[in-house]
Amino acid sequence: MKIYNKIFSLSVFLIIFSFVFIPAIVQGGDDIVDPWAEKGSAFDKLKTVGGGAYGVEGSTPPKQPVQIIGEIIKVGLNVIGLIFLVLMIYGGFLWMTARGDEQKITKAKDTIEAAIIGLVIVFAAYGITYFVVNQLTNKIITP
């Protein structure tokens, strides 16, 4: 019975993973069917990254370190949100399949509680960091 639970969990994870990350990779204009299309897809962007520093026509200008750090933070928050979603689904699945077993219900409640506490801590840290960086940049840029 455990092998079926692992297969089910893996398939749910792969489905969620595909719905979250595949559209970001294949993000083309009207040519969603053709992921190799050159209308703003991620593959096209990979061809021109960094070319602006060398004056290559049609390439993007180089990004500032602040923009790169901001994008890294966005990706990190997306991953944390995905982890939260997976933990909530896992906790709900445990609770629904507990069949009145108090030990399983306690484990499910603890999983859901830990996921919510972790998400609150992450958002609090993000809020504090955003506030501090915003105050520092306002004081430095406009004295």
Per-residue pLDDT of the chain (143 residues; tens, 9 = 90+): 677 777 777 777 777 777 666 655 555 444 445 444 445 555 555 555 555 455 555 556 677 776 777 778 888 888 888 899 999 999 999 999 999 899 999 999 999 999 999 999 988 888 888 888 777 777 776 65
Residues 51 and 28 reside in one and the same domain:
yes
Residue 46: predicted pLDDT = 53
Say whether both 105 and 126 belong to one domain: yes
Task: Identify the CA nearest to 90 among candidates 2, 6, 3.
Answer: 6
Element (H, E) at 39: none
**Do 24 and 84 have their domain in common?**
no
* CA–CA gap between residue 128 and residue 139 (Å, rounded): 17
Range of the domain at 92: 63-143
Domain count, the chain: 2
Shared domain for 76 and 139, answered yes or no, is yes
The answer on 43 and 15 residing in a single domain is: yes
Report if pTM > 0.85: no
Domain boundary residue among 62, 85, 110? 62
Query: Are 43 and 68 found together in one domain?
Result: no
Domain endpoint, select from 31, 47, 62: 62
Domain termination site, one of 18, 42, 62: 62
C-alpha 68/C-alpha 80 separation (Å) is 18
Q: Please tell me the number of Cα atoms within 13 Å of 97 on its side-chain side.
A: 10
**9, 23 contact by CB (below 8 A):** no
Q: What pLDDT does 16 receive?
A: 75
The tokens for 124 are: 């609090």
Contact 89, 78 (CB under 8 A): no
For 83, the token pair is: 């982890």
- For residue 30, the model assigns a pLDDT of 46
How many CB atoms are closer than 10 A to CB 108? 20
